[in-house]
Amino acid sequence: MKLMEVSSLTKSFGKHVAVNNLSFSIEEGHCVALLGPNGAGKTTTLEMLASLQKPTNGSVSFLGVEKGDYRESIGYLPQQPVFFPWMNAMEYLVFMGELSGLSKAKASMRADELLELLGIADARKRKIGGYSGGMKQRLGIAQALIHEPKLLMLDEPVSALDPVGRREMLELMKMLKETTTILFSTHILHDAEEVCDDVIMIHKGELAITGSLSELRRRHQEDVIIISADGNLDEWVRSIENWNVVSKVIANNDTIKIYVKNAEVARNQLLVEIAERQLPISRFTVGQTSLEDLFMKVVGK
């Protein structure tokens, strides 16, 4: 079932178009990564979905209802979570819980649960002003989850964390995605590949590629053979560019990347050539392009 459907979402700031004609949908129960480099429009998109910014154009429908107020059903972690430094974690969570429509009793129960779950129960009575960045990130997740939202939106939940914190956050997201639909933004493809089912790649505000990870792998992954040599292979490179089995060759100093249509055939042909010509090969690798390459291609770097 589609939880959220976004159609031709657009946001411009004066002449600058931050998000342009973006359409995608989020399946209930899925974990979706909104992927894009800095300035791609991730935060702007998420804020529009969280009704914090009004789209210049386009619409968002939640559970089939267009233009409804669905804030009760979403939890949102901003890129830089902020809090009242003069409150303690418990007070803050209860406050946010009550604003989300919970009773005071229910809110404090949920707050206790979440503080425990996120491992900051010991600091529940301490002023948030004295929290570390990682603790604030956890508290930010806790406030987003306080009312058991149907959709959890996280804006770059791992970018600001150190390797350990990042590992923990990814594990936490894996656990949360068992029970909640998650949409999170990131500029690191690796994180997306690790936890999510679907990706939405955007670049300069426009949708570049969307689909499930497995589908993207199938569609966009190519076999590639990488050859390194101790000498100059330029001449030979030009000759293999015309092979039927080769789709593209990228030569970079001593390393040649050969994108091929059939790894086995190409490998055999190449090995024969190398032996015949006695080329000064130092490395020969058969592999597949990663999604990282796809991402880089999209981003145009």
Partner 1 sequence: MKKWFVLFRKEWLEMSRNYKVIWIPLVFVLFGLLQPVTSYYMPEILKNASNLPKGAVIKIPIPSSGEVLAQTLGQFNQMGILVLVLAFMGIVSSEQRSGMMKAILVKPVGYSSYITAKWMSAVLLSGGAIFLGMLASWYYTILLIGDFPFMDIVKGISLYFIWILFLITFTVFLSSFLKSSGLVAAFTLLLSILLTLLTPLLKKWMEWSPAQLTNAAASLFTAGKIEGPFLIPLITTVILTALFLYLAGTRKSSLSRLG
159 interacts with partner 1 by CB under 8 A? no
Q: How many CA atoms lie within 13 A of 179 on its CB side?
A: 6
Determine the interface stretch with partner 1 among 27-35, 48-56, 60-68, 278-286 (rule: CB under 8 A).
Answer: 48-56
Determine the interface stretch with partner 1 among 25-33, 45-53, 219-227, 248-256 (rule: CB under 8 A).
Answer: 45-53
Q: How far is the CB of 150 from partner 1 (least distance, A)?
A: 13
Contact present, 184 and 177 (Cβ < 8 Å): no
How many Cβ atoms sit within 10 Å of the Cβ of residue 211? 16
Q: 19 vs 229, which CB is nearer to ligand ATP?
A: 19
Q: How far is the CB of 169 from ligand ATP (least distance, A)?
A: 17
Contact present, 176 and 21 (Cβ < 8 Å): no
* DSSP structure class, residue 88: B
Q: How many residues of this chain bind partner 1 (CB under 8 A)?
A: 27
Cα–Cα distance for residue pair 136/273, rounded to 1 Å: 59
Q: How far is the CB of 32 from ligand ATP (least distance, A)?
A: 15
Determine the interface stretch with partner 1 among 24-32, 97-105, 181-189, 221-229 (rule: CB under 8 A).
Answer: 97-105
Cα–Cα distance for residue pair 296/224, rounded to 1 Å: 16
57 interacts with partner 1 by CB under 8 A? no
* C-alpha Rg value of the chain to the nearest Å: 24
* DSSP structure class, residue 73: G
Q: Which residue in 44, 137, 180, 181 binds ligand ATP (CB under 6 A)?
A: 44
Torsions phi, psi of 170, nearest 5?
-65, -40
Q: How far is the CB of 141 from ligand ATP (least distance, A)?
A: 18
Q: Which two tokens stand for residue 273?
A: 């050539």
Q: How far is the CB of 173 from partner 1 (least distance, A)?
A: 19
Burial of 52-85, coded b for 16+ CB within 10 Å and e otherwise, reads: ebebeebebbbeeeeeeebbebbbbbbbebebee
137 interacts with partner 1 by CB under 8 A? no
The binder of 99, among partner 1, ligand ATP, Mg ion, none, by C-beta within 5 to 8 A per type, is: partner 1
43 interacts with Mg ion by CB under 5 A? yes
Q: Which residue in 28, 72, 122, 148 binds partner 1 (CB under 8 A)?
A: 72
187 interacts with ligand ATP by CB under 6 A? yes
Which strands make up the sheet holding 198-203, listed edge to edge?
Answer: 74-77, 151-155, 181-186, 31-35, 198-203, 206-212
How many Cβ atoms sit within 10 Å of the Cβ of residue 175? 11
53 interacts with partner 1 by CB under 8 A? yes
Where along the sequence are the contacts to partner 1 (CB under 8 A)? 47, 50-54, 69, 71-72, 74, 76, 78, 80-84, 86-87, 91, 95-96, 98-101, 143
Residues that bind Mg ion (CB under 5 A): 42-43, 79
Q: Which positions touch ligand ATP (CB under 6 A)?
A: 13, 16, 18, 36, 38-44, 79, 187
